[in-house]
Structure 1
């Protein structure tokens, strides 16, 4: 049975489940950039595995038009050195993983170069992640906001950064699992740094 396409949000270092769903619906996938930017979602946060358990990395955004800023217009805030913090956290959490050094040079530039808009940052990171997970996908964006898109499964609210992932996830080795067990649905970088090129087969 051929699945219809889907409309998805554009995330920062999306969770594993996001890529699983993406594989179900591609190539007929469109990313909504016209929606009003919702707070506290994966659009500007990612969860990784730290020595103390779950750690959220949040990209700060400029406080502006309250809740009525379109996703494509959201600007990144540089009031503090969040890029340095994120990169140091990734190093601290994954330096011992099997493939961190293998991918380090791919990710490092994203924590040095400044981006004005969250969408540009997320898109370039996403293009890298597609390449590393061997996903061929033409990225296309919505040009108007629609409450629903006929023929497309609406996944804009399907991924909750605060809730348990809906499906069981097959465990893979994680650096700190001896401390806190397997943590499901972390950022795709957790899978990449631990599984390397095998991540594509896992997905």
Structure 2
């Protein structure tokens, strides 16, 4: 598996996640056997609201011992978080150039009830890959390994607590208020730049 790009299963992954995919021709191997990591992009997506960066967090059920494999993490549907997330996305991007163009692709993720976080994130990844016109083979880990080659292992390198590289700025709806914010969810790029998003990556 050393000839694969090792990626975690993120919720609406950030731009650097797709830059890693676009800039590496290796097949994609998604990690499903790692222990769930709190306060990471596995349950968090950052978008650009009128007030600046806004984090959307998927609530999950807590395991008894805190060591639940990613594939076994259940979403907590005790409150209607999906409605809140969808309203936040609409408010943030309704005035962007391509939100209405892609709206129907994302709406089902906020109306259909999901039980498993891994399934939820993977279905989103498939949609995002299709919209970005990235055609790559995706497989899944069969067990957990720590010793992948560092240049292909992105399980720990893309994290909310790590300041993202500035990267090349692109137009963002509210940048006149708060400036360019790097490292947001790729939907920020997609809703603002549509079919040109792949060229940016």
What band does the TM-score fall into relative to the shorter chain?
Answer: over 0.9
Structure 2 gaps of 5+ residues are none
Aligned length: 200
State the 4+ residue runs in structure 1 displaced beyond 6 angstroms. none
CA-CA distance at 1:150 after TM superposition: 5.5
Which ranges of structure 1 fall in alignment gaps of 5 or more residues? none
TM-score, normalised with respect to structure 1:
0.94
Alignment correspondent of 2:177: 179
Of 186, 192, 195, 1:194 maps to: 192
1:35-114 correspondence to structure 2 within 5 Å: 35-114=34-113
Q: Matches of 1:158 and 1:177 in 2, distance apart? A: 26
State the Cα RMSD in Å: 1.6
Once the two structures are superposed, residues 3-57 of structure 1 have per-residue CA deviations (whole angstroms, 9 ceiling, x without a partner) of 9532110100000011001122233221110000010000011000011100000
Task: Please say if residues 11 and 41 of structure 2, whose CA atoms lie closer than 8 Å, have aligned partners that are also in contact.
Answer: yes
Structure 1 residues 93 and 144: alpha-carbon distance in aligned structure 2, compared to 1, 3 A threshold = same
- Kept in 2: contact 1:4–1:152 (CA 8 A): no
- The answer for the alignment partner of 2:6 in structure 1 is 7
Offset at 1:79? 1.1
TM-score (ref. length: structure 2): 0.95
Shift in Å at residue 146 of structure 1? 1.0
